[in-house]
Amino acid sequence: MMETNWSHYTTRDTTSLSYLPYIKNESNKEAIIVIHGITAEIKHHKKFVKACERKADIFVPILRGYAQSSRRGDIEYIGQYDHDLLDFIHYIKQKGYETISLLGHSMGCANMLRLIQQNPSIVDEYIFVAPFFHPTLPVYHEHANEQTKHGADVDYTVYGKKVFLLMFLYKMNIHRFNHRTVAEIPDELFENGRLHLSFRLLVSRFLEKIPEDLFRSMQDRILIFAGENDEVIDSNDLQFWVENKWGLHVEIIPDADHNKILHHDLFHQYLAACSGKVEQA
């Protein structure tokens, strides 16, 4: 029986943060840590767990500012997500798994780039799914900053001009506006509510500039997937950009969109086929 109860871990600043553990089999030797996007998409991650064909336990940390806390929609300082995620990875490593894989979805992929820049060997494998690497890349559909159509599966608004202005002030060493709201998403923990995200929360997810040599000597530990029908990312433009930037391949999943790719059968077939290749490399 798969366990789905909420659990908590303690960060370096003694904050207790929530995560969802999915222990599929007590004998599993691999752990997959999933980093969610601008929205937590808990329902899609639960479907990911059910569809996953790997012999792995799966852990989904809910990022600071998203779960119930005294500072919802905000964090303490720019870069705090790096510390929280490194703390969580070390926490999972202490459970004794032989292999740790990190899977980012959408904006969670940007968090992974930051972790790789700091410590590329922190995990064994990096899996990028529907990657939103950086908002300035030429790979998005025209209205990628605003996905708020009624009934749409992808729902968020990013105030791009406000982000630009606050980034300008931040680079001028003016930080008193870092708490200002720059994005709005559905509040998954309070039905029918909206959660407002701060500037320092949002920019803590991205590298300021993505290096061309970021994946040097670790290309065999990288997997990248995108959906053919992604509402946010143009999968063909992404493939062109990734090949020119890093010389890597993007596996495009037919009939998959931005969120449903997480539990698409073909995606999980590819993911299962790649299982164990990192250990053998």
Indicate the pLDDT class of residue 275, thresholds 50, 70 and 90.
confident
Report the alpha-carbon distance of residue 1 to residue 253 in Å, rounded: 30
Query: What per-residue string of b and e applies to 170-206 under the rule 16 or more CB within 10 Å gives b?
Result: beeeeeeebebbbbbbbbbeeeeeebebbbbbbbbbb
pLDDT at 5: 83
Q: pLDDT, tens digit, for every residue of 165-181?
A: 999 999 999 999 999 99
Q: pLDDT, tens digit, for every residue of 122-155?
A: 999 999 999 999 999 999 998 655 555 544 566 7
Domains by residue range for the chain, with CATH: 7-140+208-280 (3.40.50.1820)
HSE value, Cβ hemisphere, 13 Å, CA-based, for 73: 17
pLDDT at 208: 93
Q: Using DSSP, state whether 214 is helix, strand or coil.
A: coil
For residue 199 the two structure tokens come to: 């500037």
Instruction: Of 35-39, 46-50, 274-278, give the lowest mean pLDDT range.
Output: 274-278
Quote the strand ranges of the chain, DSSP E: 7-10, 16-22, 30-35, 56-61, 99-105, 125-129, 146-147, 156-158, 181-187, 193-198, 222-227, 251-253
pLDDT at 11: 96
Q: What is the DSSP letter of 180?
A: S
